[in-house]
Structure 1
Amino acid sequence: MRTTELPLVVVLGDQEPPLLDRVKDRARLRRVGEADLAEALREADALLVWDFLTEALPAAWPEHGGPRWVHTASAGVDRLLFPALLRSGAVITNSRGVFEEPIAEYVAGLVLAMAKDLPGTLDRQRSRIWQHRETERVAGTRAVVVGGGPIGRAVARVLSALGLRVALVSRTARGRDPDFGRVYGFGELAGLLPDADWVVCAAPLTDETADMFDAAAFARMKRGARFVNVGRGPHVVEADLVAALRDGRLGGAALDVFRREPLPPDSPLWTAPGLLISPHMSADTHGWLEDLAELFLANFARWTADRPLRNVVDTTLGYVPMSEAPGGTPHTEEGSP
């Protein structure tokens, strides 16, 4: 951090984040949109990526100088891992700690909605059709949760509480996990898919996880299984998912993230049978913006005091590595809303 004057904190976003007036006596704040980002970055000491869906950073990043600390209001950091930023040596931190429980609740809601055919009930209500039906129990069914970081672990815990038998899949396999007994490695996923009734993707986006759910993966899943993605859009080959739904290989699916957002009106996903679409909202609950701001402010206090920052991303891995979570729960990777 430069010490000659108050540090310049550039905030990227069209909307003003809440609570930042708390640091106006300790920082010069400059909020910019994408058009003014390149100029602002040349003088910035720190960058708050409030608009975490932006794709403007690679082109705007300065060849020399620039922020020494970049904080994103998201868990996923794949949009920040471009060569110029990595070469700069800037420290990257994320917003781990805000999204885990809301996403887990959302996934549980999707699982119950599909098992209990709530979309079918709403369709019949709109058509004033009284049609008694039987639905499924989720207790005793098998779920595979892909992503062993805080978000995946939270999803696995909530599904377990509903009575599902959950297999957690992480980058690295390990035994004697205090919550799940055994954690499987990515290399074991193919062998788990044929027995899964539910497959949930909550993994970070890395070279290893991109396109991991393709035609081959869907073909391995049992007929009628359901698929949920709350990770990143590029985890899924969307055309292959549409094909698996249309031919009845999958019994249903739910996507909260997409390769292109907003999802274009002409996307075949809109009309894929049995697909629930939500606009990247699984983590967004009342008060979440204040929670994100509070997390940034706590790290800002550490930064100005030259104390170690929290949620520092390992740029070689693409997520925040953690050897031990609160309460002694080991895990190694971060999820990615």
Structure 2
Amino acid sequence: MPDRLVVLYRGNLPPATGLIERLADTVYATEEELPLLLPGADVLLAWVTITPAIRESWPDNPEKAPRWVHASSAGVDSFLFPALVDDPGVTLTNARGVYEQPTAEYVLGLILALAKDFPGTWEHQQRREWRPRPSDSITGRTALVWGTGPIGRAIARLLRAVGMRVCGAGRSARTHDPDFGTVHGPTTLGSALADADYVVLAAPLTQHTRGMVDASALAAMKPGARLINVGRGALVDEQALVDHLADGRLAGAALDVFDQEPLPAESPLWDMPGVMISPHTAGETTGEREALIEVFLDNLTRHIEGRPLLNVVDKRRGYVT
């Protein structure tokens, strides 16, 4: 076996460990064990991805660092530290292809739940109250999907399929996009925010997107609009969001990710009317673990056979181009 593979895990090992062990000299490391086991490894499978352990355990000597790191996630912000990014000999791949459709379905579910006030219906049910009331329609409503990568595109396609008007927001403006129609750049973003009934965040967390939804962006949103975040918590200035929700300018928010996870119990977001909170589960499905390991095993076979890897991340941009 030519390669030494370290699998970083927390709690449960990934499936198909027997197959992995037949393909590579495999050791398993918790976050606490990683500093001892990572130096000298050829490959790192990060089954845990939202953790400082990889950065903190990265060898000072580049010759001791892995040549290939695979993230079992779509987002790779935990991996974008200088020692990994600046080393041209380290290839970073991710789990592109696993989370797109589940996340799109989750976003559609959130939009329907907000428009139809399902949380209010369930509260009335718990109190045995019969409270007929009208709800919003989503047909013809405008969704601005901020983030035009694979997850954003899957969201756009699904929202279009149910009759919503969809546009995108990204680093560069363009028209005639097959999924978004119009993609707004920085110069037209303000008008797009002012027109959107739902603003959906699906961007990766990079140096350019951190804090992109600040007080000015929130102020630009249409009164009564709703914010949905399935990207990363740090895309949003949470205090500014709390302030805009509290003054009633926004009708609500559905938040799956947060700057600090788990969301602290003392956060005011827990109790704010019109706010739905989920524990970073937008892309999780019952078959997620098997799908993730299939992506890795495909690439591991390619690595062993000397073929090009799939889902190679542009480490400077922070996503697969």
Same fold? TM cut 0.5: yes
User: The residue matched to 1:254 in structure 2 has which SS?
Assistant: strand
User: The residue matched to 1:25 in structure 2 has which SS?
Assistant: helix
What is the CA distance between 1:215 and its match in structure 2? 1.4
Aligned position for 1:23: 20
Aligned position for 1:108: 108
Kindly indicate whether residue 63 of structure 2 is the aligned counterpart of residue 67 of structure 1.
Answer: no
C-alpha separation in 2, matches of 1:190 and 1:79: 30
Q: Is the 8 A contact 1:19 1:294 kept in 2?
A: no
User: The residue matched to 2:320 in structure 1 has which SS?
Assistant: coil
C-alpha separation in 2, matches of 1:16 and 1:25: 16
Aligned position for 1:6: 2
Deviations 1:170-217 (A, max 9, x none): 222223323333322244222211111110000011122111112111
Alignment map for 1:151-166 (pairs within 5 Å): 151-166=151-166
C-alpha separation in 2, matches of 1:219 and 1:182: 22
Deviations 1:108-154 (A, max 9, x none): 00000010110110011111111110011100111100011110011
Kindly indicate whether residue 35 of structure 2 is the aligned counterpart of residue 38 of structure 1.
Answer: yes
When structure 1 is superposed on structure 2, of 167-176 and 243-252 the one drifting more is 167-176
What is the CA distance between 1:41 and its match in structure 2? 1.0
Q: Is the 8 A contact 2:156 2:179 kept in 1?
A: no
Deviations 1:58-94 (A, max 9, x none): 1110011211000000011111010111233310000
C-alpha separation in 2, matches of 1:305 and 1:212: 42
Deviations 1:267-304 (A, max 9, x none): 12212221100000000001100000000000000001
C-alpha separation in 2, matches of 1:245 and 1:308: 48
Deviations 1:210-253 (A, max 9, x none): 11112111111111101000000000111111111111010010
What is the CA distance between 1:36 and its match in structure 2? 1.0
User: The residue matched to 1:200 in structure 2 has which SS?
Assistant: strand
What is the CA distance between 1:9 and its match in structure 2? 0.6
C-alpha separation in 1, matches of 2:283 and 2:299: 21
Alignment map for 1:1-337 (pairs within 5 Å): 5-14=1-10, 15-64=12-61, 65-88=64-87, 89-321=89-321
Deviations 1:19-47 (A, max 9, x none): 13113222111111111101111121100
User: The residue matched to 1:34 in structure 2 has which SS?
Assistant: coil
When structure 1 is superposed on structure 2, of 176-185 and 46-55 the one drifting more is 176-185
Q: With structure 1 as the length reference, what TM-score do the two structures score?
A: 0.92
C-alpha separation in 1, matches of 2:114 and 2:154: 20
User: The residue matched to 1:191 in structure 2 has which SS?
Assistant: helix
Q: With structure 2 as the length reference, what TM-score do the two structures score?
A: 0.96
Counterpart residue type for residue 27 of structure 1: A
C-alpha separation in 2, matches of 1:20 and 1:189: 46
Q: Is the 8 A contact 2:85 2:316 kept in 1?
A: no
TM superposition outliers: structure 1 runs of 4+ over 3 Å: none
C-alpha separation in 2, matches of 1:266 and 1:194: 31
Aligned position for 1:326: none
User: The residue matched to 1:11 in structure 2 has which SS?
Assistant: strand
Cα 1:20–1:186 shift into 2, 3 Å: farther
Which segments of 5 or more consecutive residues in structure 2 lack a partner in the other structure? none
When structure 1 is superposed on structure 2, of 104-113 and 176-185 the one drifting more is 176-185
When structure 1 is superposed on structure 2, of 133-142 and 19-28 the one drifting more is 19-28
Bigger relative CO (Cα 8 Å, ≥ 6 apart): 1
Q: Is the 8 A contact 2:167 2:181 kept in 1?
A: no
Tell me how many residue pairs correspond in the alignment.
317
C-alpha separation in 2, matches of 1:60 and 1:211: 27
